[in-house]
Chain A
């Protein structure tokens, strides 16, 4: 039998003064890092308001908020997906398809002349059907990714094409317009002095913040993105969590599609093209790591606002749309470079 070693004394906990001092001095820089996107946003607003007197007005403020509400819907879903170390490229097309289906059902219902059947849809019914479509497409994404181990990039790229094709089939390539004043309220109305789309995106953000911080699902999302293998061994049903996340992303894209359709009073077959890129940009600027496990909903919201303010400012300053794209790209790069530098210094 071999001897076994026991330690008699506990090592005394001595904290060196130098350690304490460094902890104090680093707390300032920690705050800087924590609020970097807010600081960037503040500086951005300051510069634009100095250059244009139209920027800092209440009307323009609501205008910006209304414009970014669609991107916020999509990028909240995108954040959840990216936190699991995935990506969802299909959201733009899903948005278009769900907008078209909502508009189509509202205006035409379902008509099957051969069966002598007609189903009409109320506003609520059409909206629910649109959201259901988005959720189902998201579930399909999750199913191919978890069941057949298709990489998320490829699986959602396929659905991007499929959903766009289905949109064209459903609309026959033409916009579906004239949807009525009730439906227009979703995208253009006001409630208690605040635009309805801002209410919708605000509620989504609050729910997503609670989901990520206060629920089991949220914790599982971070764990899977941080270390999938450890999460699996901890008894977490990886496939279920991932599928749920893609379903949520699809559902949120559908809500975005309904808002867009309502605002334009028209479902455009080519709506939402490249919206997935704006969403990914918001997620990345907000500090969420594309390799998963690190990031937050509120970061993404800040990212979306930065992009929105930037777009708005460049328009107000009469910058050509071509230059706007260049500037936007550079901002995304800058944000990620700063984020990398920060995580390295940690």
Chain B
């Protein structure tokens, strides 16, 4: 269906892809695997016409093609669904799907009836049971992704490229997505699936291609390969699989929540959090699992003092009752929050690494009211070294680093505040295996050093491998608590799925 031969792409002299060959077959799901920076996105951008200048040949249905822009690729039948969704939230589903290719009546006006009808058909096919006039902003992330797929299908695309499609959606939504992919396979569409999550690939993919440092390392049938081997190919090193030892000698009570509630910011009669109570101990890693919309992020935000006017309940830190009205007060009380979306909430991408690391502790880096550059340098060098942040210098712009290194900067800026309680919201989202394992190791070390840590994650394997104890949330309530010895994937998922009556 689509064949790429000897693709080489350089960015101002730096080789991003070297002699990469790729073959995509109709009716199959081809998994594209590789660490961050391996060249996956570059290859996808070449295939979808974002980068028109490259060396090598691309054959589509046996014809030599060279797309000048994404529009051209789309018209020919290659659609890409980006990791960050490209939808206009204030427009309806219909308007989004037909954006830029509206159907016009003979009078020159929009043929809304026809567009709505075709949207309805597409949504029905994709089993998304919402009205075509619904505003996209009102949909959940998973549903928005389905709208993106509908956009691709409208063009009768033969090749659909999905870049990290499950990074922002919950497990139940992943199931819906996989169902759609199965349907597309049956219709003989070719699907390219880019993901870090190997277990997903083993479920959905037929073939795989491993990229490393811009080169094609291995390709083959998914059924002929095992997870360890794939990881080894991706990383290019030998891997030791080790089991986490549980931390049984837990310390004193560190953080206690009693009847924490949070009102909905608009619909005041609804509660996003409903009487949540639990205790975090010194040296404990508490896993918090929940599906999208369960209120995990809201819970961390409430504890961190971000919703003082909407929340109620009692917070106790080290036996002292506290009332936190702002993040500044929360930091003083020994809390630190690594937010879910590091680009939106974690980092100032346009500033350099050093400034980002020092942002939370500037008051300590002053001499007589003026910032001491030496102290700043010292602090940032310390964390670049300790967390193995790969950057050309501390003056590098944060936005230029890879996801894993950006996440380490966010961690560094919070560790610099010397917190007692660390709240981690999806600490490994969208980062490669290598950085992931380093972050897991760090979390473990911090807990051993006596910090209390809450890890929120929507990935079950992550929760199970990192936590000492697991709490499960559904619809703003705590629904279950497991000691790590008793926790199973089934048990956690069962508690996380909302009970609909």
Contact = CB atoms under 8 A, between A and B. Distances in A.
Contact of B235 (A7, A219, A230): A7
Interface of A: 1-9, 11, 16, 18-19, 21-22, 26, 210, 213-216, 219-220, 222-223, 226-227, 229-237, 293-294
Contacts of B238: 8-9
Contact of B437 (A1, A5, A230, A236): A5
Contacts of B14: 16, 18-19, 22
| Among A2, A213, A230, A294, residue most surrounded by chain B Cβ atoms (within 10 Å) | A230
Contacts of B306: 232-233
B348 A4 contact: no
Given A216-B363, A219-B371, A229-B344, A2 B461 contact: yes
Contacts of A7: 235, 237, 239-240, 434, 437-438
Contacts of A8: 237-240
Nearest to A26: B12
Contacts, number: 133
B13 A19 contact: yes
B337 A4 contact: no
A19 B239 CA distance: 30
A7 B350 CA distance: 31
B324 to A, nearest CB: 11
A294 B399 CA distance: 13
Contacts of B172: none
B346 interface: yes
B243 A293 contact: no
Interface in B3-36: 12-15
Contacts of B210: none
Interface stretch (B66-74, B96-104, B135-143, B327-335): B327-335
B410 to A, nearest CB: 9
A6 B441 contact: yes
Contacts of B241: 3-6
A26 B14 CA distance: 13
Interface string B390-420: 0000000000000000000000010000000
B27 to A, nearest CB: 33
B433 A5 contact: yes
Given A16-B14, A19-B14, A216-B363, A4 B440 contact: yes
Nearest to B231: A5
B196 to A, nearest CB: 12
Interface string B339-354: 1000011111111000
B311 interface: no
Nearest to B14: A19
B239 A216 contact: no
30 contacts: A3-B243, A4-B440, A4-B466, A5-B239, A5-B433, A6-B239, A6-B242, A6-B437, A7-B434, A11-B237, A16-B14, A18-B13, A21-B13, A213-B371, A214-B371, A215-B369, A215-B371, A219-B355, A219-B371, A226-B349, A226-B351, A227-B347, A229-B345, A230-B339, A230-B344, A232-B306, A233-B345, A234-B360, A235-B330, A293-B350
Nearest to B369: A215
B107 interface: no
B437 A3 contact: no
A214 B362 CA distance: 11
Contact of A4 (B244, B339, B366, B370): B244
A244 to B, nearest CB: 14
A205 B123 CA distance: 60
B368 to A, nearest CB: 11
A115 B331 CA distance: 53
A1 B465 contact: yes
Given A215-B371, A230-B347, A233-B337, 15 more contacts: A2-B464, A4-B242, A5-B231, A5-B239, A5-B436, A8-B237, A9-B237, A11-B434, A16-B14, A210-B370, A219-B358, A222-B351, A226-B349, A235-B326, A293-B348
A227 B235 contact: no
Contacts of A234: 327, 359-360, 413
A75 B254 CA distance: 50
A233 to B, nearest CB: 5
* Top-4 shortest CB links A-B: A226-B348, A22-B13, A235-B328, A235-B331
A329 to B, nearest CB: 28
Contacts of B346: 230, 233
B412 to A, nearest CB: 12
A233 B339 contact: yes
A226 B13 contact: no
A1 B239 contact: no
Interface string B211-254: 00000000000000000000100011111111110000000000
B495 interface: no
A231 B359 contact: yes
B484 interface: yes
Interface in B297-333: 304, 306, 326-328, 330-331
Contacts of A231: 348, 359
A229 B328 CA distance: 13
A201 to B, nearest CB: 22
Contacts of A294: 350
A301 B203 CA distance: 61
A219 B360 CA distance: 11
A85 to B, nearest CB: 11
A149 to B, nearest CB: 14
Nearest to B339: A233
Interface string B113-125: 0000000000000
A166 B12 CA distance: 58
Nearest to A19: B14
Contacts of A26: 12
| Among A6, A16, A214, A233, residue most surrounded by chain B Cβ atoms (within 10 Å) | A233
A160 to B, nearest CB: 30
Contacts of A3: 241-243, 465
B131 to A, nearest CB: 32
A232 B243 contact: no
Given A5-B437, A227-B347, A18 B15 contact: yes
A231 B326 CA distance: 12
Contacts of B436: 5
Given A6-B239, A19-B13, A293-B350, A216 B366 contact: yes
Contacts of A230: 339, 344-348
Contacts of B347: 227, 230
Nearest to B10: A18
Contacts of A11: 236-237, 434
A3 to B, nearest CB: 5
Nearest to A240: B328
A1 B243 contact: yes
Nearest to B355: A219
A22 B12 contact: yes
A18 B304 CA distance: 47
A34 to B, nearest CB: 14
B327 A1 contact: no
A107 B359 CA distance: 48
Contacts of A237: 326, 328
A13 B479 CA distance: 47
Contacts of A210: 370
Nearest to A6: B240
Nearest to B434: A7
A310 to B, nearest CB: 30
B351 A1 contact: no
| Among A5, A26, A220, residue most surrounded by chain B Cβ atoms (within 10 Å) | A5
Nearest to A219: B362
